[in-house]
Structure 1
């Protein structure tokens, strides 16, 4: 079993159990940077959508820009995982944030001039966004002591949910006074904050197989180093099982939310009320789940987390037949709470169990599979609905959401999200 992460200097004097983790200055700086990156990430598609409304962009242009951003994200995640294990995690956050920040004014310069320029800049922005994800995940383990990481991860996910809840109203308000160009420049400033505010964490000592080459040693290739991260992931059966379940749920349940919910809201209920209410209930449920798991320590954390993940199946299930709108909203609230009951213990377990010098690479594998396959699910669900009907597809999505975590729970180490000591830890 990997040695727990060495406690960095920033975490040797952890905050008192009686006070919030947000009162710890090193973590507060990290949290502020992560919140800024989350707000900038969310804001770009919304602001570009406003450009479609004022006819600066076409819908086809918007689709091209968002696709380019996704390609940049997926390309950068594995590279950033290697770099964050090879070099300073703080340095990766800095350069990733500055890269994404520099892309925002280029997107603004391309408005009404060059869609190709905007698409190139959107891909660069996506690369900066993708590079931040594994680096922030690993930096959290450096800045926060082990006993406070669950609370820290809950605070991180709370910032994401608050941004999602407050962001649309804030952006709409700013759009009254500012044009698209100014809003894009504001996104660039958010990325500068994300890059510059977080402090430096303590560098954990290398662990794992002593015969394995150290990152960057002897001209080791990126592929070899990323493969070493994959081998580290394979040493943790609970991680592989949980990642498979998470990927299946996102590819099906998330797709049902993104595609089927608007269709059902329009066709079955005749208005956007159910769509807006369900998404608001989902965010409110996620906030509740994050607040709960910040303090709750279940006896079987892995099983509890997988049960939370399985609750996402209630979302597509609530759309199968017409029911009262309150039922749909309640189902989405439970799904939102459940996803955070999974996310926070999942991140915390990875930070505890994975060899510290390989954490960024394992985290990049997590993001690459779980979020990387989401666009595929979104692309396939609409044709599937046309071919088999919405009801059959929604039932199928619900079954996958319930079954995948249940199968993952059968893995012996899934109960605690930890691998018991083995006679030989080498792969």
Structure 2
């Protein structure tokens, strides 16, 4: 089996995604500090973050349609250039010393809209450059570079912010998107043309492909619960860590432990190929209940950190394995659309957790939402084992069914 990095097309893709991942990993920390420096308001930060999230959620399904209809490479190049321009606008304003909140919000909205079209291209790009036997290793490599960037991003952001200012973090991200666009523009990706139909028909067809596979939609429900529970932990967890477990340093260690776990899981996925990939991956996600429940009972900080690291290791392992299974089981003509529905459910569940967790914590105390989220994630993720298709799905050689074409336009 040829190693993915021996393939020129994948090398270009890998390098481009690595560069943009490093740039993106710097921005969250820089954005938070830039907005707070400019306005001193957490409400302003919430506004800017919301301006990025809302168009991303609304446009994700349409991004899947566009990526399936057109060459995913061209769509990815276009979105990289749009995001380059958006980040450059913010960076220049910050470097000028008089950033306007309106401009930052608009740039975030433009970047969020572009990401809705970029996200669905990721899986078709890997599937179009690497043959099936090497795809899990290729997806694991993509996971390694993304998770390594998350681990190093905050430190690089801090270095830039305190030595040169947050504006340079955005300039760096803009340059990373420009370089990524350049690399993607010279690679060649296999693309299966899709018949021209109405956008509504393409959306319906993608949703039918999701509904037709029990293992997929049942897992998506579990993954949505997982992401909602993650939002609860990220919202309530800092309060528990600071007030009950020893201070801000505990929360920082928890987050770094999670980043290490994600990286370790991605490395493991490059070497271990479970016989029942979806079943093993979903059961691993159930481990996220441990840090939630340990936080709820105010367990010692080392136990919480270790549990969180283990839970994120399971996530880091699942992501490449899941991508490989989806690329194998779905026809290439619908891959971007089903991926967009996957992301829509995952991202859409997080605002629910962000909204409900503080309300529940104020009403019943921080332990209640953490405990409820822990129970829900354990039941949802482990409960997928009750679905026969989840238990049966393996790596036996099969030809993915062709997508059904609905009648009408």
Q: Please report the TM-score for the alignment, with normalisation by the length of structure 1.
A: 0.87
Q: Would the alpha carbon gap of residues 398 and 240 (structure 1) be closer, same or farther in structure 2, given more than 3 Å must change?
A: same
Equivalent residue for 2:331? Answer: 355
- Residue number among 211, 231, 246 corresponding to 1:234 in the alignment: 211
Equivalent residue for 1:328? Answer: 304
Gaps of 5+ in 1: 1-13, 207-213
Gaps of 5+ in 2: none
Equivalent residue for 1:100? Answer: 83
- Residue number among 16, 20, 23 corresponding to 1:40 in the alignment: 23
**Distance in 2, Cα, partners of 1:424 & 1:36:** 35
Equivalent residue for 2:282? Answer: 306
CA RMSD, 1 decimal: 2.3
- Are 1:69 and 2:52 counterparts? yes
Q: CA offsets per residue over residues 226-275 of structure 1, 9 Å max, x none?
A: 111111112211110111100011111x1232112101111112311221
- Are 1:342 and 2:318 counterparts? yes
Q: CA offsets per residue over residues 275-314 of structure 1, 9 Å max, x none?
A: 1121111111222111112111122222111111111111
**1:50, CA displacement in angstroms?**
2.5
- Work out the number of aligned pairs and report it: 399
Q: Pairwise mapping of residues 15-54 of structure 1 onto structure 2 (< 5 A)? A: 15-16=2-3, 21-52=4-35, 54=37
**1:113, CA displacement in angstroms?**
4.8
Q: Is the 8 A contact 1:232 1:355 kept in 2?
A: no
Equivalent residue for 1:8? Answer: none
Q: Please report the TM-score for the alignment, with normalisation by the length of structure 2.
A: 0.91
- Residue number among 184, 190, 203 corresponding to 1:203 in the alignment: 190
* Mean CA deviation greater in 119-128 or 69-78: 69-78
**1:343, CA displacement in angstroms?**
1.5
**1:105, CA displacement in angstroms?**
2.3
**Distance in 1, Cα, partners of 2:269 & 2:132:** 16
Q: Determine which structure has the larger helix proportion and give its number.
A: 2
**Distance in 1, Cα, partners of 2:179 & 2:137:** 23
**Distance in 1, Cα, partners of 2:169 & 2:40:** 15
**Distance in 2, Cα, partners of 1:257 & 1:391:** 11
Equivalent residue for 1:78? Answer: 61
Q: CA offsets per residue over residues 339-395 of structure 1, 9 Å max, x none?
A: 122212211110000111100000011111111221221121111111222222211
Q: Give secondary structure in 1 for the equivalent of 2:348.
A: coil
Q: Would the alpha carbon gap of residues 32 and 166 (structure 1) be closer, same or farther in structure 2, given more than 3 Å must change?
A: same
Q: CA offsets per residue over residues 6-55 of structure 1, 9 Å max, x none?
A: xxxxxxxx625xxxx33433212112222233333333332122224544
- Are 1:246 and 2:215 counterparts? no
**Distance in 2, Cα, partners of 1:166 & 1:380:** 31
- Are 1:120 and 2:106 counterparts? yes
Q: CA offsets per residue over residues 175-208 of structure 1, 9 Å max, x none?
A: 23322333322221111122221354443446xx
Equivalent residue for 1:150? Answer: 136
Q: Pairwise mapping of residues 358-369 of structure 1 onto structure 2 (< 5 A)? A: 358-369=334-345
* Mean CA deviation greater in 119-128 or 108-117: 108-117
Q: Give secondary structure in 1 for the equivalent of 2:128.
A: helix
Q: Is the 8 A contact 2:331 2:403 kept in 1?
A: no
Q: Would the alpha carbon gap of residues 251 and 423 (structure 1) be closer, same or farther in structure 2, given more than 3 Å must change?
A: closer
- Residue number among 156, 177, 180 corresponding to 1:170 in the alignment: 156
**Distance in 2, Cα, partners of 1:396 & 1:236:** 29
Q: Would the alpha carbon gap of residues 224 and 325 (structure 1) be closer, same or farther in structure 2, given more than 3 Å must change?
A: same
Equivalent residue for 1:383? Answer: 359
**Distance in 1, Cα, partners of 2:393 & 2:182:** 34
